[in-house]
Amino acid sequence: MSDLKSVLTFNGSSDYISVTDGSSWDITNYTVEVWIKPNGEPNETWAGIVDSNFNILLRKNGTIHHRFNINNNNDARIPRTPENSIEWDKWSHVAITNNGENAKTYINGELKAEGATGGNIVLDETPLYVARNLDGKSNSYFKGQIADIRVWNQSRSQEDIKNDMSRRLKGDEQGLVGYWLLNEGSGNIAGDRTANENEGTIHGGTWEQTEIPIVEQQQHPIVEQQQHFFPEQEEGGTGLVGYAYWYCWKQNLLQEQSEKKEFRRGRISV
């Protein structure tokens, strides 16, 4: 049994999303998260995934490049992730964090690169772009699918990133300043689930129905779904879809158990 969701596919040459610059993400302490499924290697040496005052770039060798602006250097960066950190045609979760002193890059919840920020982060009036770099060169567009983009005004811990990456958020979580699910299924507007309502404009792109390793909160998958998505049975997959269903099922079960009143045997006083 499959659970298909609407996902936006980018052609790698002209499709992208733009979000007008807003104070919501003029932040020097940040976390940016995104799910990606690249359709083969980029056309050029690297392709933009999320680009603003903070940048997530994908290179031909499967590495993630985390870049930002400091002082007079608009090309500050930390070491790239190891080669083949990102696999082609498979979903991967990417998260970058920066607390003003140290910057980190996580792939599927695991720390893959880190380094000192190296100066004061500088902000400018830069829009937020998805699936392209800032200068818009046609050979630096992302080719594949992108989902569930989150921007936080805090540097999140590895534990928080791992706990939340495979479930939909409500949009009112503390520190969440931008949340684009990219699951509308039609139209050219990318809605922002947070109260900031910074809608994005979709330029091109194709809506498709596919499986993604994200489940809604409070969802109770039935046994057949759990069996279908169990990592060992996900042929050619990463196991992330199975993990998403298992994790949310476990969290719901623990919540239900905590709400039950403990029964104790004893004498009734009259």
Query: Could you read off the pLDDT of 227-259 as tens digits, one per residue?
Result: 444 444 444 555 555 555 555 556 665 655 554
Cα gap 49→149, rounded to integer Å? 10
- Tell me the three-class secondary structure of 61-96, residue by residue: CCCEEEEEEECCEEEEECCCCCCCCCCCCCCEEEEE
Q: How confident is the model at residue 131 (pLDDT cuts 50, 70, 90)?
A: very high
> In the chain, pLDDT over 90 holds for what percent of residues?
58
The string of DSSP letters for 165-188 reads TTB---S--TTEEEEE-----SSS
β-partners of residue 215 are 167
Q: How confident is the model at residue 72 (pLDDT cuts 50, 70, 90)?
A: low
Q: How does strand 5-11 pair with strand 110-116?
A: unpaired
**pLDDT value, residue 44:** 78
Chain centroid, CA 173 distance in Å:
15
| Phi/psi at 254 (5° precision) | -65, -40
**pLDDT value, residue 123:** 80
Which of the given ranges, 26-35, 46-55, 164-173, has the highest pLDDT on average? 164-173
- Give the largest CA-CA distance in the chain: 82
Query: What is the identity of the amino acid at 270?
Result: V
**pLDDT value, residue 23:** 72
**pLDDT value, residue 251:** 61
Cα gap 17→96, rounded to integer Å? 20
**pLDDT value, residue 74:** 58
**Residue of 258, 229, 86, 247 lying closest to 162 (CA atoms):** 247
Q: Residue 99: CB partners within 8 Å, gap ≥ 6?
A: 29, 117, 155
**Residue of 163, 132, 182, 172 lying closest to 251 (CA atoms):** 163
Q: Residue 260: CB partners within 8 Å, gap ≥ 6?
A: none
Higher pLDDT, 24 or 62: 62
Q: What dihedral do alpha carbons 208, 177, 194, 221 form, nearest 10°?
A: 60
Q: What is the pTM of this model?
A: 0.80
Residues in the chain, overall count: 270
**pLDDT value, residue 238:** 53
pLDDT beyond 70 at 1 = no
**pLDDT tens across 149-184, in order?**
999 999 999 999 999 999 999 999 999 999 999 999
Q: Is 224 helix (H, G, I), strand (E, B) or coil?
A: helix
> In the chain, pLDDT over 70 holds for what percent of residues?
76
pLDDT beyond 60 at 260 = no
**pLDDT value, residue 235:** 46
Rounded average pLDDT over 25-44: 90
